[in-house]
Amino acid sequence: MRHRIRWVERVALGTMYTAVVDRIGTIAEAAQGWGHTTIVIDGTGVGRPIFDMLRRRTSVPLRAITYTSGEHETQPAYNFLRVPKIDLVTSLEAVLQTRRLEVVPDCPLQAELAAFDFSINTRGHASFEAQTGNHDDLVAALMLAVFWNERPNALDVWLEFRREHAARTPAEQADALARARARAGPHTRALNGW
């Protein structure tokens, strides 16, 4: 999947949260004309109140991602993910290394990407942040967007399953069902009427 950054808007420091929420809602609603839109926000810190304000402001689907230092992604609630920061960084890194990111010329994001630094301290703690004196808020927003868009879409997974299933002969379908039944535990067999 290619990621095209057509436009970037940096909100001025000191802008009221209500104005930020209104702007995000307006942009997301306009973007729905281009296809499916999801607002993905940083759920860390003041993210939860912003999420609640956005939920009241717009009907565009919302997701909040909280950075963690953990090793595994968790989903404490439907719209909320807790993701190790290294997973966010490596998603972006993979997109950059495979040259699947296009950014409009003279975008401030390019300077932030150039100043984004990765380091490991003497205790083995990984650090991902802008070099001293630089911003990384646009890179953080890009990491969230890339991470979310690189995830497999549930509908796409289901459609792929249906295509594969339809391509099988009846004998292959029966064999796959028999293998699934053999692997299933007693609770799964009971729920499926096997």
- Own/partner pairs for 75-80, CB < 8 Å, 24+ apart? 79/51, 80/43
Neighbouring CB atoms inside 10 A of 187's CB total 8
Residue 192 has pLDDT above 60, yes or no: no
pLDDT at 146: 94
The domain segmentation of the chain, as residue ranges, is 3-151, 156-191
| pTM score of the predicted model | 0.74
pLDDT(142) > 90: yes
pLDDT tens for 26-48 read 999 999 888 888 999 999 888 88
Strand order across the 62-68 sheet: 39-42, 62-68, 80-84, 74-77
- Spatial separation of the C-alpha atoms in residues 187 and 152, rounded to whole Å: 28
pLDDT at 158 over 70: no
| DSSP structural state of residue 152 | P
For residue 155, pLDDT beyond 70? no
Residue 7 — φ and ψ, nearest 5°? -160, 140
pLDDT tens per residue across span 59-102: 999 999 999 988 889 988 888 999 998 889 889 989 999 999 99
Q: Using CA atoms, how far apart are residues 109 and 137, in angstroms rounded to an integer?
A: 9
- Does 3.30.420.240 match the CATH number of domain 3-151? yes
Tell me, what's the pLDDT at 162?
Answer: 63
Residue 125 backbone dihedrals phi, psi, to 5 degrees: -80, 125
Mutual orientation of helices 137-150 and 85-97 as an angle, nearest 10°?
80
Contact call for residues 51 and 38 (beta carbons, < 8 A): no
pLDDT by residue (tens digit) across 94-140?
Answer: 999 999 999 988 888 988 888 888 776 777 677 777 777 777 889 99
